[in-house]
Amino acid sequence: MDNVKLLEDLNNKKESFYEEISKVIVGQGNVIEHIFIALICKGHILLQGVPGLGKTLIIKTISSALDLKFNRIQFTPDLMPSDITGTEIISQDPKTGDRGLKFIKGPIFSNIILADEINRTPPKTQSALLEAMQESMVTTGGQTYQIESPFFVLATQNPIEQEGTYPLPEAQLDRFMFNVIIDYPNIDEENKVVRLNTEDNKSLINNIISKEELQNYQNLIISVPVSKNVIDFAVNFVQSTRPQSTNLDITKKYISWGAGPRASSFLILAAKAKAALYGKPTPDIDDVKDIIKSVLRHRIILNFNAEAEGITTDNVLEELMGNKSV
């Protein structure tokens, strides 16, 4: 199938995918679009929202619409790294009687991983995800085990409760393509949620996208061309978040550390996917602007001035987007 037909097929599948998800999920179109973009970009997502907004339900519903293996890992303070990656046990050969170590794969060996409440487990366990997220492999006992492709981590965390939580290390945060914030539903959406939750509604989610189709879409996104001015805009914007690389007053006043080079790559990759989802042959600067917040908000570290004045990362990014010199 050539790229033009594949692009048409992607658009048709996108509509069917969204329609299937809407059987269970009310609203949250922006969140679902970001997850779909991450899927076809081989990225990972961190979802943030207060309890009861359906973070876990969204991920479970999306996994049902994909013909992929799904595992959920509930992160708790007593979770060990081996509970994620797997462990070695002593096994005996029934024929020879010889004993040896046998590796039992953990829940990380799946296509879609729901890392629920990821900030409730200590850094030692959180770091067990690092190699898997970046390299799609696990190393234990001197052996390396490949994780089957496609591999996609969807992590959730609650931004309100901080007691008994462990902030994610910057190195791990940087491996998430998007940091998506789930907002409260509006009054019409909440009315529909109440009806769905209080009536006999057991919608069956059908598989819409197969593993082979998803991999074809991922290859398509890589092949989408990008003009030089779009790449220049993305790189210059990321540079503008670094106090060491810019003279912008807002950056020097409020930011301690800016985003790294991985942010520039993710901006372009996500812009390519967004353009493809809307049938465009190549992304423009507006496509980059649409995903700037979700790509950069977890990669920028604000300083004390921002904290004292109640300035958020999103506030700084909005100011930078409105600055004509960027």
pLDDT in tens, 142-182: 788 888 888 989 888 877 666 667 888 777 888 899 999 88
Residues of the chain with CATH 1.10.8.80: 224-326
99 secondary structure, DSSP code: E
Strand partners of residue 301 = 257
Q: Let me know if domain 1-77+108-222 sits in CATH 3.40.50.300.
A: yes
In the numeric block, the tokens 């990321």 are attached to 238
* Dist CA 316 CA 322 (whole Å): 10
- ∠ at Cα 133 (216, 262), nearest 5°? 85
Share of the chain above pLDDT 90, in %: 21
Task: Confirm if 68 and 150 have CB atoms less than 8 A apart.
Answer: yes
Sign of torsion, CA 203 206 209 210?
Answer: positive
pLDDT at 324: 64
Q: With contact defined as beta carbons under 8 Å apart, do 185 and 57 qualify? A: no
Q: Which of 42-46, 140-144, 262-266 is the least confident region? A: 140-144
What CA–CA distance (Å, rounded) separates 253 from 200? 54
* Pairwise CA distance, residues 65 & 132, whole Å: 24
Tokens of 301: 């570290």
Write out pLDDT tens, residues 106-143: 889 988 888 888 888 888 888 888 778 888 888 877 78
Judged against a pLDDT cut of 80, whether residue 216 lies above it is answered with: yes
Residue-level pLDDT at 49: 78
Q: How far is Cα 240 from Cα 127, in angstroms, rounded to an integer? A: 30
Evaluate the omega torsion of the peptide bond into residue 150 and state whether it is cis, within 30 degrees of 0.
Answer: yes
What is the Cα–Cα distance from 88 to 257, expressed in whole angstroms? 40
Nearest to 220 by CA among 263, 261, 272: 272
- Distance CA(152)–CA(217), nearest Å, equals 15
pLDDT of residue 4: 77
Start and end residues for every CATH 3.40.50.300 domain found in the chain: 1-77+108-222
Helical spans, DSSP H, in 41-76: 55-64
Contact 298, 170 (CB under 8 A): no
pLDDT at position 176: 92
Could you give the CA distance from residue 114 to residue 61 in angstroms, rounded to a whole number? 11
Contact 120, 165 (CB under 8 A): yes
pLDDT at 236 over 90: yes
| pLDDT recorded at residue 198 | 74
Q: What are the beta bridge partners of residue 157? A: 48
Helix axes 261-277 and 211-223, enclosed angle (nearest 10): 110
In the chain, the amino acid numbered 306 is A
**pTM, to two decimals:** 0.86
CA distance 31 to 290: 13
Residue 282 pLDDT exceeds 70: yes
Element (H, E) at 51: none
pLDDT at 202 over 70: no
Which value, in Å, is the radius of gyration of the alpha carbons in the chain?
21
User: Is residue 6 predicted with pLDDT exceeding 70?
Assistant: yes
Specify the CATH class of 224-326 in words. Answer: mainly alpha
Please check whether residue 258 is in contact with residue 241, taking contact to mean a CB–CB distance below 8 angstroms.
yes
Q: Which residue has the tokens 């013909």?
A: 67
Contact 126, 169 (CB under 8 A): yes
